[in-house]
Amino acid sequence: MAKKKKIEENPKQNEAPATLQPITETLEKNYMPYAMSVIISRALPEIDGFKPAHRKLLYTMFKMGLLTGARTKSANIVGQTMHLNPHGDASIYETMVRLTRSNGALLHPFVDSKGSFGKVFSRDMAYAASRYTEAKLDTFCNELFSGIDKDAVDFIPNYDNTTTEPTLLPTTFPNILVSPNLGIAVSMACNICSFNLAEVCAATVALLKNPKTTVDRILELMPAPDFPTGASILYDREKMKKIYETGDGSFTVRARYEYDKANHAINILEIPYNACIEAIIKKTTEMIKAGKLREISDVRDAVDLNGGKLIVMDLKKDADPDLVIQKLISSTEMQKSFDCNFNMIIEGRPMQLGVKEILGEWIRFRMNCLSREYAFDLGKKEDKLHLLMGLAAILVDIDKAIKIIRNTEKEEDVVPNLSAGFHITKVQAEYIAEIKLRHLNREYILKRIEEIKGLEADIAELREILKDEIKLKGRIITQLQQIAKKYGKPRMTDLIEAEAVQKPDKDIFFENYNCRLVMTYGGYFKKISLQSSRSAEEQKLKEGDFIVYQEDTDNRGDLLFFTDKSQIYRVKVDDFELCKNSSMGEYVPRKLGMDEDEHVIGCKMIYDLVPEHHVVYLFENGKGVRIPVSAYVTKSKRKKISGACSSASRPVGAVYEGDKPTTLLIRSTGGRAMMIKSNLIPEKTTRTSSGVQVMKLGKKNDLLDLATDQVALLGADSAKYKKSSIPSSGAQLDQLAFEF
């Protein structure tokens, strides 16, 4: 029997052909829904001042009865919150930590906590696990849930349709400005600083009374943000006004400190809100090790339960505390900038608003909440009045009502018979039918219908409020004034006029001393202390390298490095570390981040650019140019000047000419040399000038280099190289001189 041939199936043959999807369609269908979800439902707060995660947690605690009950384990709260927030217990607990009194991140905490919840000013003081801590809602949360059971806000189903949750909390004060918020969404972010509650209430009252209240007036009532960590704001009114107008801008916050004269120490008491003590201590320690803070002998964390000192820095005997403070402020997180970005969700749309606009949106939101709350109360009172009016109707003949009920054979006929007998509605009849027999007496009915007059007055008042916007605003004003009186606190963050603050000196870390500067032909630079330079040690150089510049000076000046790519680099002498004669030094192109194949062709230390001085360039083609320093003077000190000279031919040497002409030693690849005074080369006022011919070159010969410190190596017959005019062919070098 013939063997059957095995047929191999292609697993992909039944697959549908792949279709290409335009990137725009992918973004629209896949990325945009994700982006909108992050923006709307996660990262940005809404007008009640909460992100969804905050709102779900607080509402869960409210439903658990934790507004009035005892504390419960945080793990229990986290577990219950997962009915509304399915994103994991860790993220829920982190949200809760930030809202606690113990953490100190809020001016007015929402959670009354017990246990270790870390500290906002420390990254190392970690919070304990949720099974060890306990929490309940703070009494301040009464202002978050007022009217929530009276239809003040909308409710929506939770993620699995097993319960409902509020879309917003009916906050009775502008929490959006009282509680700080930081969030990063897709293509946008928010950073809302906290403001003092009493000041915010005062500004809101002013805006309620007069919608035309100016930003300047709001600035008077709430002059600046207020942080729970205290510290001081360097106050610039114009910058703050811009933030209030646009919701965008920044201001500077500085730590609060004191000098302890008795212990000769600096105590840091409060730090900026967005700083942490560990970063300050780490940076201070690094500066001490680097020799930039030699005045400090010890720095330590001094946080205690009383919340007094945060950091203590012990000073050395002769240390100047003011100088130390200047160094700390200029280099550590003791002074930080706070960047404001008032992005939030308003009616489902992300918007960046100024302070006045935020308060205006909150007033509109609060008026809607209060209107719905009063409408709810009005409906309840009208329903109750309707029932009592029915009860009053049977007072005329109670016996008749009893007789109707007694003589009705079927239970379902009781309500229709009462309704027909007394000309009342079915709802009223149902209410009367449900009254116990013992209460169907004149005394009980008279007591109940006494409420009618009060209900009618209340209904009339509620209707007037709902019709009159001014009265509605009046109720909000009263609430805000009561909140400010009950919960208001003095400012934690004080204000210091920015102009009155002494700016740190530019040379605050500068240490001056005498030194010797050495530059080699190969691009190595040394800064040697004079004591080391006088030692018997020989200068260590790379094989074949030699010194082209050497000068005894001090550490105050700047170094100019001229390169063969027509560029000048300017750095401080202090930027280079001290070394010894036995060291090779630092390779300048690497240290300064020069371009590939860029080499140093000249070096000079200066204290400042003098316009009357000159820079002399010699080019590979034998030409030279003398450019006044005024061509390089700029308004600010530039670290790099491009196009310093002509690029028609490669520069091979550059010399800084001061008040007096410099002797230049010029060599060619043909083994010839000449010595001239630098002022023989004509001055050209433009950088791009290609100059004049200085040295005549033979065929296939180029200018090799330019030097100023090797004249002595030419020997006794150096006179033959001296030339008094240009151009010149120079004289032939002997082998020794050529190899220097």
In the residue annotation, 132 being an active-site residue is answered as: yes
SS (H, E, C) 370-419: HHHHHHHHHHHHHHHHHHHHHHHHHHHHHHHHHHHHHHCCCHHHHHHHHH
Helix (H) or strand (E) run with residue 470 in it: helix 469-487
What are the angstrom distances between the C-alpha of 367 and each of 231, 471, 477, 601?
36, 11, 11, 75
Q: Whole-angstrom Cα distance, residue 231 to residue 367?
A: 36
* Angle of helix 451-467 versus helix 469-487 axis, rounded to 10: 100
SS3 label, residue 491: coil
What are the angstrom distances between the C-alpha of 230 and each of 176, 225, 282, 366?
20, 10, 22, 30
* DSSP per position, 542-581: -TT--EEEEEEEESSSEEEEEETTS-EEEEEGGGSPEE-T
Burial of 641 (0-12, 13-18, 19+ CB in 10 A): middle
Give the amino acid at 352.
Q
Q: Whole-angstrom Cα distance, residue 173 to residue 176?
A: 9
- Bridge partner residues of 250 (DSSP): 339
What are the angstrom distances between the C-alpha of 335 and each of 26, 231, 284?
45, 9, 13
Q: Of 388, 452, 455, 398, nearest to 424 (Cα)?
A: 388
Q: Which residues contact 728 (CB under 8 A, 6 or more apart)?
A: 674, 676, 694, 695, 696
CA atoms within 13 A on the CB side of 86: 4
Q: Whole-angstrom Cα distance, residue 477 to residue 317?
A: 58
Count other C-beta atoms under 10 Å from residue 348's C-beta.
9
Residue pair 705/738 in contact (Cβ under 8 Å)? The answer is no
Q: Of 57, 40, 47, 61, nearest to 170 (Cα)?
A: 47
Q: Of 510, 501, 578, nearest to 327 (Cα)?
A: 510
Instruction: Determine which one of 31, 59, 93, 132 is catalytic.
Output: 132
Q: Whole-angstrom Cα distance, residue 267 to residue 270?
A: 9
Residue pair 677/704 in contact (Cβ under 8 Å)? The answer is no
What are the angstrom distances between the C-alpha of 638 and each of 436, 482, 530, 567, 627?
95, 59, 30, 12, 18
Report residue 460 as tokens. Answer: 């009339």
DSSP state of 100: B
SS3 label, residue 95: helix
Q: Whole-angstrom Cα distance, residue 408 to residue 402?
A: 10
Report residue 124 as tokens. Answer: 């190392």
Residue pair 34/179 in contact (Cβ under 8 Å)? The answer is no
**What backbone torsions phi and psi does residue 649 show, to the nearest 5 degrees?**
-140, 150
Report residue 661 as tokens. Answer: 């002409």
**What backbone torsions phi and psi does residue 589 show, to the nearest 5 degrees?**
-55, -35
Residue pair 639/630 in contact (Cβ under 8 Å)? The answer is no
Give the amino acid at 375.
A
Q: Which residues belong to the active site?
A: 132
